[in-house]
Structure 1
Amino acid sequence: MVLMRQAGVTLVSVGIFSWALLEPREGEHDFGWLDDLLDLLHANGIAVDLGTPSVSPP
C-alpha cells in the first residue's frame, strides 16, 4: 500500500476474472479475500472499481 500511495494511486479495479476465487467449488462461495482487500484499500484511501467477476479472460 505504501508504494501505491507514493505512486499516487487513487483508484483500483478489482474482482475482474476472479470467479474461480469467489466460487472455488460449485455452490461454495468465498468472499473473505475480497472483503479483506476492500477493507485494506479503504483504510488507505484508495477507491475501488469493483468489476464483474468472469470465469476466465476472453
Structure 2
Amino acid sequence: MIERKVVIEIKSVESLNEIHIAQVLTYLKLSNWKLGLLINFNSVLFKNGVKRLINGTI
C-alpha cells in the first residue's frame, strides 16, 4: 500500500495469470481504493511485467 491510495502486488512468476489479477482486484474492492499495480519481476523488460488495474466499483 502506498499512502493508502495504491495497492502494489509484487510477483516473480513465469507469466501473470487471471488469479493474480483477481487477487489485486479483491484487495482494491476490500480497501475501497481505485488503483492497483501488479508487477512481475520475472520479465525480460520491466515495462512488460507491469499491469495497471483500476477498481470499477468506486
What is the TM-score normalised by the length of structure 1?
A: 0.39
Structure with the bigger percentage of strand: 2
- Higher-RCO chain (CA-CA 8 Å, sequence separation at least 6): 1
In the superposition, the TM-score normalised over structure 2's length comes to 0.39
Structure with greater Cα Rg: 1
